[in-house]
């Protein structure tokens, strides 16, 4: 075993993998016994894999705090060995190992030490170019292009960029070289502007007066919330389809804007109307909604029995990671309080985002939200006070329900016709809704069939006697027929 200054390294810079790669490059010149030793060494190195990565030296255990995913130490450099082993032997296990190296490199994100090869971004980018040459999959060339965009940021900004949590999430890299954090806009919209809009509208209802300044402020708050929801939609699309070059057309932006405008405006108005007549009861409504959506991702995580997420940020301890996840679910609950969150949190996913298109969850959310809004409006209509004396209550209720239906309509138009990746859906939203309603009907069907079966089993004595007599008649006919056949024979 080769040792570098007394240490048996495994990586590409000073270790076993680069030596084996060079030997495989001249494989045909080796003696058969030496070839066998090389393959034994390659398999030995493959056995040292720990969660798609390799420790810097032999016998070391990878710990989350000091895990290295570099070209010099780790999966990005060792991937070249298994690529060469696959080209020489054509054994699929070597290609699978090489692909796992690339996926880990993409999952762990960019390195903060610079654009170099040894322990920088270029070392990661070369892995994606290698996998593209091996597999021909265009997603790897796209990932390499993302790394090139980072080079542009490095040199255009003239400063050291902060490390990314993951290439696939939380950051955009515009063409001008400046990074932008979308989550700040979403936080400002739903944890800042949304409560402000609700409070200002509540004050206007109680005072029965809307000043020009307050109306302008409320319009700006509504636009801020809608803009945050729109950015959340675009972020969800880019995360779910990160391996594709997504281009959102103006028609899609318009549908999202109208969808979110009707949905959020209706929701805020319903909450304000209900709280204006039943002040104390708005508290349980808000708490049930908020804590329900706050604990929902945690319940799914506990049911999945997955290990605790360890890839949020290397510098964070388990307590820090828990705090970050709680803040994420807190924001998720705040969004769902007012509208459907396009970014669905999934704590057992490496990116913490559910990338599948779940039409069932979407349908259930809007059905329950419509029922809740209708119930709150009914309570307002029953207990409305004199401040609504000059308001046509039935017409207002009808307008709000129609507005919410308009939001659902624009959502359906967006997913059916304007979604930039609608061709990648395994099923369209119309098919998803149809299957969802079919499933709901199927749940009710067994109960009905069970009742019919029970009714069929409970028969009157007369029907039982008739069945017994008819059975006896058939048996006698069979006996007569048997005698007739015997006599003819």
Give the model confidence (pLDDT) of 60-81 as tens digits.
Answer: 777 665 678 887 888 888 888 8
Q: Rounded mean pLDDT of 243-257? A: 86
| Bridge partners, residue 180, by sequence | 172
**Per-residue confidence at 223, pLDDT binned at 50, 70, 90?**
very high
* CA distance linking residue 97 with residue 92, whole number of Å: 9
Cβ neighbourhood burial of 160 (10 Å; 0-12, 13-18, 19+)? exposed
* CA distance linking residue 152 with residue 321, whole number of Å: 31
Of the two residues 295 and 160, the one the predictor is more confident about is 295
Please give the mean pLDDT across all residues of the chain: 79
pLDDT number for residue 373: 94
Residue 448 predicted with pLDDT over 60: no
pLDDT number for residue 416: 86
pLDDT number for residue 220: 92
Question: Could you tell me where the DSSP H helices lie in 359-428?
Answer: 359-383, 393-413
Query: Taking a C-beta distance cutoff of 8 angstroms, is the pair 128, 106 a contact?
Result: yes
**Per-residue confidence at 367, pLDDT binned at 50, 70, 90?**
very high
Spatial neighbors of 487 by CB under 8 A, at least 6 apart, are none
**Per-residue confidence at 481, pLDDT binned at 50, 70, 90?**
very low
* Known binding-site residue numbers for Zn(2+): 72, 118-119
* CA distance linking residue 115 with residue 155, whole number of Å: 10
* CA distance linking residue 364 with residue 231, whole number of Å: 23
Residue 428 predicted with pLDDT over 70: no
pLDDT number for residue 179: 41
Return the top range by mean pLDDT from 74-78, 121-125, 357-361, 477-481: 74-78
**Per-residue confidence at 358, pLDDT binned at 50, 70, 90?**
confident
Q: Rounded mean pLDDT of 325-352? A: 88
pTM above 0.75, yes or no: no
pLDDT number for residue 475: 47
Which tokens belong to 458? 């409970």
Of the two residues 201 and 183, the one the predictor is more confident about is 201
Number of H helices, E strands in the chain: 16, 2
* CA distance linking residue 100 with residue 85, whole number of Å: 15
**Per-residue confidence at 185, pLDDT binned at 50, 70, 90?**
confident
H or E segment at 172? Answer: strand 171-172
Residue 423 predicted with pLDDT over 60: yes
* Known binding-site residue numbers: 72, 118-119
pLDDT number for residue 430: 63
Spatial neighbors of 380 by CB under 8 A, at least 6 apart, are 273, 274, 276, 277, 278
pLDDT number for residue 62: 76
Please state, as a whole number, how many other Cβ atoms lie within 10 Å of the Cβ of residue 373.
21
Please state, as a whole number, how many other Cβ atoms lie within 10 Å of the Cβ of residue 369.
21
End-to-end CA, the chain: 95
Of the two residues 163 and 328, the one the predictor is more confident about is 328
pLDDT number for residue 455: 46
Residue 145 predicted with pLDDT over 50: yes
Return the top range by mean pLDDT from 120-129, 136-145, 166-175, 221-230: 221-230
C-beta pairs of 45-49 under 8 Å, 24+ apart in sequence: 45/10, 45/16, 45/17, 45/20, 45/78, 45/81, 46/82, 46/93, 46/94, 46/97, 48/10, 49/97, 49/100
The interaxial angle of helices 282-304 and 250-277, nearest 10 deg, is: 130
Q: Rounded mean pLDDT of 259-271? A: 95
């Amino acid at each position: 075993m080769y040792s570098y200054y007394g240490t048996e390294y495994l990586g590409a810079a000073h270790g076993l993998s680069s030596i084996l790669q060079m030997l495989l490059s001249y494989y045909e010149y080796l003696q058969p016994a030496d070839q066998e030793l090389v393959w034994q060494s390659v398999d030995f190195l493959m056995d040292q894999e720990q969660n798609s990565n390799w420790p810097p030296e032999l016998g070391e255990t990878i710990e989350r705090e000091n895990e290295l995913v570099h070209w010099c130490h780790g999966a990005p450099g060792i991937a070249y060995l298994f690529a060469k082993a696959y080209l020489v032997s054509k054994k699929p296990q070597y290609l699978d190992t090489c692909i796992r190296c690339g996926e880990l490199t993409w999952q762990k994100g960019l390195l903060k030490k610079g654009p170099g090869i040894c322990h920088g971004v270029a070392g990661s980018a070369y892995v994606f170019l290698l996998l593209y040459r091996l597999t021909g999959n265009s997603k790897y060339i796209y990932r390499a292009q993302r790394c090139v965009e980072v080079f542009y940021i490095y040199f255009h900004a003239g400063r050291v960029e902060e490390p990314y949590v993951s290439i696939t999430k939380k950051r955009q890299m515009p063409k001008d070289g400046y990074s932008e954090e979308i989550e700040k806009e979403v936080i400002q919209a739903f944890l800042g502007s949304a409560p402000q809009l609700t409070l200002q509208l509540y004050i206007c209802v109680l005072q029965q007066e809307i000043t020009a300044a307050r109306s302008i402020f409320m319009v700006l708050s509504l636009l801020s919330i809608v803009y945050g929801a729109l950015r959340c939609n675009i972020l969800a699309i880019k995360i779910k389809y990160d391996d594709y070059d997504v281009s959102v057309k103006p028609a899609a932006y318009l549908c999202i804007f109208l969808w979110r405008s009707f949905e959020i405006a209706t929701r805020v108005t319903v909450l304000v109307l209900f709280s204006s007549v039943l002040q104390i009861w708005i508290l349980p409504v808000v708490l049930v909604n908020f804590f329900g959506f706050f604990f929902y991702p945690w319940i799914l995580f506990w049911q999945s029995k997955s290990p605790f997420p360890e890839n949020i940020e290397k510098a964070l301890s388990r307590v820090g990671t828990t705090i970050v996840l709680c803040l994420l679910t807190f924001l998720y609950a705040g969004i769902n309080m007012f509208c459907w969150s396009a970014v669905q949190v999934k704590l057992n996913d490496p990116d913490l985002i559910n990338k599948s298109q779940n039409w069932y969850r979407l349908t259930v959310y809007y059905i329950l939200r419509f029922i809740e809004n209708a119930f709150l409006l009914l309570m307002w209509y029953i207990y409305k006070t004199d401040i609504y004396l000059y308001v046509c209550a039935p017409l207002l209720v009808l307008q709000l329900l129609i507005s919410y239906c308009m939001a659902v309509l624009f959502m359906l138009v967006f997913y059916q016709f304007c979604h930039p990746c609608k061709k990648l859906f395994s099923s369209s939203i119309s098919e998803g809704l149809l299957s969802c309603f079919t499933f709901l009907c199927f749940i009710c069907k067994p109960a009905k069939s069970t009742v019919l079966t029970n009714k069929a089993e409970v028969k009157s004595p007369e029907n039982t006697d008739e069945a017994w007599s008819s059975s006896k008649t058939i048996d006698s006919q069979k006996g007569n027929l048997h005698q007739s056949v015997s006599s003819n024979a």
